[in-house]
Amino acid sequence: MGKFVVQPGQSSPVVQPANPAWKLALWIASASGFRAKKFPAPWSLKQSLAIQISNWILYVTQGTMTIQALKTVSKGQNGLGSFILQCKKLDFHYCDWAGSSKGMNGFIKSQLPKFAKSHPQIEFSVSPRPSKHPMIVGHYINGRQKSICVRNMEPLEILKKAELLRDASGEKLKKTNKPVTSINPSVRGVWSPYHGNGMAV
């Protein structure tokens, strides 16, 4: 059996197996290298090194060692629990007399009021851009911008482009070669029958 020990700087007790290999490994981890550098090593580092030395001693002396699962915590992602819209502002630029802005002028009069009313969390700005093609510029909370030129488009086509900028994250487009991409490693890790509290093999 092991005993619970609370080390300085720790809020929760740590189990120390009461076996000679562990005691020897902990003594080696505490004495070797750390005192020579004249600074105390963190207890977590000592414990990790002691576990490795203890497993090596058990493997050499008894032909057995303990396998334990890796401890990790998943990272939060937008949309899990709560969702924050990444688009914070949409700018609509148009020209009063240019033919390429005919669709944009119609969109501003017919579609934009309803679209803005259904998205109160987004700031909408309409400004003239004389002698230039109409554009929609999206501003995102990560500081980036995305713009789409909507020259010679119909109002419904411009609405789809506005929805595209609304749903964008603001990140750069990246090429993916895998069908599933995750930034979080699996919390469970690679499955093995030896995972758990530790099992002699």
What confidence tens digit (pLDDT) does each residue in 6-46 have?
Answer: 444 444 444 444 455 555 555 565 555 544 444 444 555 55
Share of the chain above pLDDT 90, in %: 40
Q: Which residue has the tokens 């679209």?
A: 115
pLDDT surpassing 90 at residue 175: no
pLDDT at res. 36: 40
Token pair recorded at residue 87: 């688009």
Tell me the average pLDDT across 156-174.
Answer: 93
pTM for the full predicted model: 0.54
Share of the chain above pLDDT 70, in %: 52
Distance separating alpha carbons of residues 72 and 15, to the nearest angstrom: 19
pLDDT at res. 77: 73
pLDDT at res. 38: 44
pLDDT surpassing 50 at residue 180: yes
pLDDT surpassing 60 at residue 198: no
Q: Smallest Cα–Cα separation from 152: which of 91, 105, 92?
A: 105
pLDDT at res. 145: 95
pLDDT surpassing 70 at residue 75: no
pLDDT at res. 25: 57
Distance separating alpha carbons of residues 50 and 29, to the nearest angstrom: 6
pLDDT band at 176 (very low <50, low <70, confident <90, very high): confident
Phi-psi region of 166 (alpha: psi -120 to 50; beta: other; left: phi over 0): alpha
Tell me the average pLDDT across 142-159.
Answer: 95
